[in-house]
A and B are shown apart, each in its own frame.
Chain A
């Protein structure tokens, strides 16, 4: 990948990834509000906003971040499977995106319940802390790996490096 294009893709990837974290923080705030508020309209509004935030912000940002991350890896000498930090980042990002896609239909179901529920039913809805909480930890872990880039080649990366040196 040409240096100019690489910087552009990196900029897009960073913006998408930071946006993903920010959207999860917003979702977490709504999840805490839904879990702790005793005001029925607030709980209803929180769940509807969680559904919107999830489908309209978190899911697109997660998919785009995963895609641009793969493009970045394949278009640079880092590769996708050569360095442990890249490989672990890929696995964690794919895992987080997979859990997100499996979880969002449940969020929609609860949001639909919240739209029609009375005050008593809304008080029993609760919030959603586990998924955004764990998701945020995983995203911060990925961010740390991407900033520090701890050294270490995978067995595949080691073989490729030997081939390149001997070739």
Chain B
């Protein structure tokens, strides 16, 4: 088989959207954790 033409088509849009959501979730989790939003005795 011949090598398919073209370069890497790029990162899918759903990966970028999900990545943004995950980054926001992780930041919110870390901030809530540091400000005592988790366990009181943690």
A joins B in a complex: yes
Which of A109, A113, A130, A165 lies in contact with B32, CB distance below 8 A? A130
Prevailing SS type, chain B contact patch: loop
Interface size in chain B (residues, C-beta < 8 A)? 23
Q: Does B20 lie at the interface of the complex (its beta carbon under 8 Å from any beta carbon of A)?
A: no
Bound Cα distance A126, B39 (Å): 7
- In the complex, residue of chain B having the shortest beta-carbon distance to the beta carbon of A127: B39
Q: Does A128 lie at the interface of the complex (its beta carbon under 8 Å from any beta carbon of B)?
A: yes
A-B contact count (CB 8 A): 58
Q: Which of A19-27, A51-59, A147-155 contacts B (4 or more CB under 8 A)?
A: A147-155
The answer to whether residues A110 and B12 also contact, given A130-B29, A166-B3 and a CB cut-off of 8 A, is no
Closest beta carbon of chain B to A82's beta carbon, Å: 13
B29 touches A152 (CB 8 A): no
Residues in chain B near residue A162, CB distance under 8 A: 3-4
A84 touches B2 (CB 8 A): no
Bound Cα distance A56, B11 (Å): 40
B14 touches A152 (CB 8 A): yes
Residue positions of B touching A, CB distance < 8 A? 1-4, 8-9, 11-12, 14-15, 18, 22, 25-26, 29, 32-33, 37-42
Residue positions of A touching B, CB distance < 8 A? 84, 88, 92, 95, 106-107, 109-110, 113, 124-131, 134, 137-138, 150-152, 155, 158, 161-162, 165-166
